[in-house]
């Protein structure tokens, strides 16, 4: 009997296995360290973020050293400090056996703040940003994937350029982790709706959430590698290709050039960026299913994907129709680029947005607010949520005519519950309140109303560019300390969402509330005696 030849694993299978091993190894390493007596999910999360962030410092220090840059020593020392701090925090803590929802979200917010502090420390240590408020807002732009900066990209060393790009890529990877591990427990923003684009669908990809996360991460890593090769083939230098692939697939938007993608003056590179931005705004579970089964018709059957692409086409046609000049191939490409950059919340630029008509600016702001599909790495309110709101408005209009009618809101094959609907409306209301408050702060700090309003929407949606000033990226430079701190807070709110932030604040206040109640009961008992 002839032995069977060994079966070679395919490249996707090897990538999935490697990703799963990296995730499992990182998790087991943190678990072995968490042997302390202090039971705190937030403390363990903070320490774990610092421990896992330090290798990025070391990698970028090595890149800067090989390139002959000036920041390698600062990055190396900063990485050692961050690593030691993380090991100390993790060593004295342990993860609780039971965790309420409020504490879960507190841990998520604590992790975001830990990443913010580490990146801020890197900017200050390397001298990239001298002022604390500038370093803070630059760090917030890095970890939230917002293309807003006060720094000339071409003045940065390769080490810091790589650090910022990897930071944006890892922040999007963290969103995938939160998507699978955390959001299903609360169903934030109606993410428990069906249609192949939801968190519930993501959890059904595999019987265990760890396996699900590894599968989604392997898709994310594989797409990043493919677009790095695509940029290289389009004529971009290989270093720029890697960095732009990281910031494209993460919908981050940081570039190696001060003029963003437009500085390369290449139509091929711009078309690659357009495709990458569309992919960044597409649902990861939907892409995984389509690639796993080789069924591209899943994109067509997805209602949310059709609306997502349809919004891009409608806005492109509107911008070209409002233009004073007859559309050319270049103007059409620039219109498509600006539209995809806005709806995917990437923030890349291919041309001067000053040529966009006022109506086009308004439509781009609408796309920023909308954002990409649910279960994607893009920011914004998400296309599905606006679809649900549209169905809700239609139902209420029909109820005004037929008050006794009982009608459920359906999206695809699933019905949207009243609880999920209330959460969507609540999040939209809270986001509106936050935007109005930030507009007042930005106006008080020196921006005109148009610039303040557009930048507030852009920062909350994690886009970056805005309107109302001489250039689309000058808003952070025009703001002072109050504006920088407000912008940093707005970016963080846009990334973690309003609901988790408020829930986490409730989690922080729970111990204090218990102590207050205990003190009141003690006083009442003494008064009775």
For the chain, the first-to-last Cα distance in angstroms comes to: 92
Q: What are the helix and strand counts (H, E) for the chain?
A: 21, 4
Among 184, 149, 182, 144, residue whose Cα is nearest residue 380: 144
Q: What pLDDT, on a 0 to 100 scale, did the predictor assign at position 82?
A: 93
Return the higher-pLDDT residue of 39 and 248: 248
For residues 518 and 454, give the distance between their C-alpha atoms in angstroms, rounded to a whole number. 47
Model confidence over 309-327: pLDDT tens digits? 999 999 999 999 888 778 8
Q: What pLDDT, on a 0 to 100 scale, did the predictor assign at position 15?
A: 66
pLDDT above 90: residue 295: no
Q: What pLDDT, on a 0 to 100 scale, did the predictor assign at position 199?
A: 41
pLDDT above 90: residue 60: yes
Cβ atoms of 498 and 424 within 8 Å: the answer is no
Can you say whether the dihedral through the CA atoms of 110, 116, 117, 122 is positive or negative? positive
pLDDT above 60: residue 282: yes
Q: What pLDDT, on a 0 to 100 scale, did the predictor assign at position 368?
A: 93
pLDDT above 80: residue 413: no
pLDDT above 50: residue 410: yes
Find the mean pLDDT for residues 516-520.
65
Model confidence over 7-23: pLDDT tens digits? 455 666 676 677 766 76
Of 117-121, 126-130, 501-505, least confident by mean pLDDT is 501-505
A 10 A CB-CB count for 75 gives 28
For residue 158, the SS3 value is helix
Q: What pLDDT, on a 0 to 100 scale, did the predictor assign at position 102?
A: 66
For residue 93, the SS3 value is strand
Q: What pLDDT, on a 0 to 100 scale, did the predictor assign at position 468?
A: 85
Q: What pLDDT, on a 0 to 100 scale, did the predictor assign at position 20?
A: 66
Model confidence over 348-375: pLDDT tens digits? 998 878 778 888 889 999 999 998 888 8
In this prediction, residue 453 has a pLDDT band, given cuts at 50, 70 and 90, of very high
pLDDT above 60: residue 163: yes
Contacts of 60 (CB under 8 A, 6+ apart): 75, 159, 160, 162, 163, 166
pLDDT above 50: residue 96: yes
For residues 148 and 166, give the distance between their C-alpha atoms in angstroms, rounded to a whole number. 16
Return the higher-pLDDT residue of 411 and 464: 464
Of 25-39, 135-149, 152-166, 460-474, least confident by mean pLDDT is 25-39
Within its chain, how far is the Cα of 19 from the centroid? 20
Q: What pLDDT, on a 0 to 100 scale, did the predictor assign at position 141?
A: 93
What ranges do the domains of the chain cover? 129-509
pTM of the model: 0.86
Return the higher-pLDDT residue of 434 and 211: 434
For residues 194 and 410, give the distance between their C-alpha atoms in angstroms, rounded to a whole number. 10
A 10 A CB-CB count for 488 gives 26
Of 68-82, 141-155, 193-207, least confident by mean pLDDT is 193-207
Tokens 């209330």 found at:
422
Structure tokens at 83: 């690593």
Within its chain, how far is the Cα of 340 from the centroid? 16
Q: 93 pairs with which residues across the strands?
A: 38
pLDDT above 80: residue 157: yes
Within its chain, how far is the Cα of 98 from the centroid? 28
| Helix (H) or strand (E) segment spanning residue 415 | strand 414-416
Note the helical H segments in 408-497: 418-444, 449-460, 475-478, 481-496
Cα atoms found within 13 Å of the Cα of residue 529, Cβ hemisphere only: 6
Percent pLDDT > 90 in the chain is 37
Judged on CB neighbours under 10 Å (0-12, 13-18, 19+), 231 is: buried
Q: What pLDDT, on a 0 to 100 scale, did the predictor assign at position 388?
A: 86
Among 209, 457, 404, 389, residue whose Cα is nearest residue 449: 457
Q: What pLDDT, on a 0 to 100 scale, did the predictor assign at position 190?
A: 37
pLDDT above 60: residue 501: yes
Q: What pLDDT, on a 0 to 100 scale, did the predictor assign at position 363?
A: 93
Cβ atoms of 450 and 122 within 8 Å: the answer is no
Model confidence over 456-496: pLDDT tens digits? 999 999 998 888 887 888 889 899 899 999 999 999 988 88
Cβ atoms of 497 and 427 within 8 Å: the answer is yes
For residue 416, the SS3 value is strand
Cβ atoms of 45 and 112 within 8 Å: the answer is no
Contacts of 12 (CB under 8 A, 6+ apart): 218, 222, 291
For the range 435-439, what are the long-range contacts, defined as Cβ-Cβ under 8 Å and sequence gap of 24 or more?
435/460, 438/486, 438/487, 438/490
Find the mean pLDDT for residues 231-260.
92
Name the most confidently modeled range: 219-223, 410-414, 509-513. Answer: 219-223
For residue 152, the SS3 value is coil
Among 138, 188, 191, residue whose Cα is nearest residue 168: 138
Model confidence over 185-213: pLDDT tens digits? 554 433 443 333 344 444 444 434 556 77
Find the mean pLDDT for residues 254-270.
91
Q: What pLDDT, on a 0 to 100 scale, did the predictor assign at position 356?
A: 81
Beta strand 409-411 with 93-94: parallel, antiparallel or unpaired?
unpaired
Question: Average pLDDT of the chain?
Answer: 82
């Amino acid at each position: 009997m002839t032995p069977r030849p060994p079966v070679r694993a395919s490249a996707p299978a090897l990538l999935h296995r490697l990703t799963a091993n990296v995730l499992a190894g990182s998790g087991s390493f943190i678990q072995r360290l968490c042997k302390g007596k202090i039971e705190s999910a937030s403390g363990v999360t903070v320490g774990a973020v610092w421990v896992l962030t330090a290798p990025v410092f070391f990698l970028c220090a090595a890149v800067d050293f090989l390139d002959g840059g000036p920041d390698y020593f600062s990055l190396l020392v900063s990485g050692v400090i961050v690593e030691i701090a993380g090991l100390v925090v993790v060593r004295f803590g342990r993860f609780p056996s039971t965790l309420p929802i409020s504490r879960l979200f507190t841990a998520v917010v604590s992790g975001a703040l830990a990443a913010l502090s580490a990146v801020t420390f890197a900017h200050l240590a390397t001298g990239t940003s001298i002022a604390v408020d500038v370093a803070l807002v630059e760090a917030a732009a890095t970890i939230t994937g917002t293309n807003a900066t006060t720094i000339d990209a071409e003045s940065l060393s390769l080490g810091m350029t790589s650090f910022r790009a990897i930071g944006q890529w890892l922040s999007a990877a963290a969103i995938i982790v939160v998507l699978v591990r955390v959001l299903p427990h609360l169903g934030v923003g109606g993410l428990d709706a069906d249609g192949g684009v939801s968190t519930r669908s993501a959890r059904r990809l595999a019987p265990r959430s760890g396996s699900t996360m590894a599968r989604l991460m392997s898709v994310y890593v594989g797409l990043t590698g493919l677009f790095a090769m695509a940029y290289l083939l389009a004529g971009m230098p290989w270093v720029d290709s890697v960095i732009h692939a990281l910031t494209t697939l993460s919908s981050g938007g940081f570039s190696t050039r001060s003029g963003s993608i437009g500085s390369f003056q290449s139509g091929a590179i711009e078309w690659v960026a357009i495709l990458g931005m569309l992919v960044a705004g597409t649902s990861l579970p939907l892409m995984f299913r389509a690639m796993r089964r080789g069924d591209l018709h899943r994109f067509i059957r997805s209602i949310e994907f059709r609306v997502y692409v349809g919004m891009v086409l409608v806005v492109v046609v509107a911008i070209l129709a409002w233009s004073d000049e007859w559309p050319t191939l270049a103007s059409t490409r620039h219109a498509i680029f600006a539209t995809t950059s806005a709806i995917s919340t990437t923030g890349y630029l291919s041309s001067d947005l000053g040529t966009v008509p006022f109506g086009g600016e308004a439509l781009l702001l609408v796309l920023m607010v909308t954002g990409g599909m649910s279960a994607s790495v893009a920011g914004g309110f998400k296309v599905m949520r606006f679809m649900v709101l549209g169905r809700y408005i239609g139902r209420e209009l029909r109820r005004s005519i037929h008050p006794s009618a009982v009608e459920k809101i359906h999206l695809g094959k699933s019905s949207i519950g009243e609880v999920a609907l209330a959460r969507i409306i609540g999040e939209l209301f809270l986001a509106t309140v936050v935007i109005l408050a930030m507009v007042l702060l930005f106006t008080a700090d020196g921006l005109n109303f148009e610039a303040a309003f557009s930048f507030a929407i852009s920062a909350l949606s994690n886009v970056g560019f805005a309107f109302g000033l001489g250039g689309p990226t000058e808003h952070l430079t025009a703001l002072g300390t109050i504006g920088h701190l407000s912008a940093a807070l707005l970016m963080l709110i846009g990334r973690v969402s309003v609901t988790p932030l408020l829930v986490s604040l409730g989690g922080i206040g729970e111990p204090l509330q218990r102590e207050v109640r205990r003190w009141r009961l003690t006083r009442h008992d003494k008064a009775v005696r």
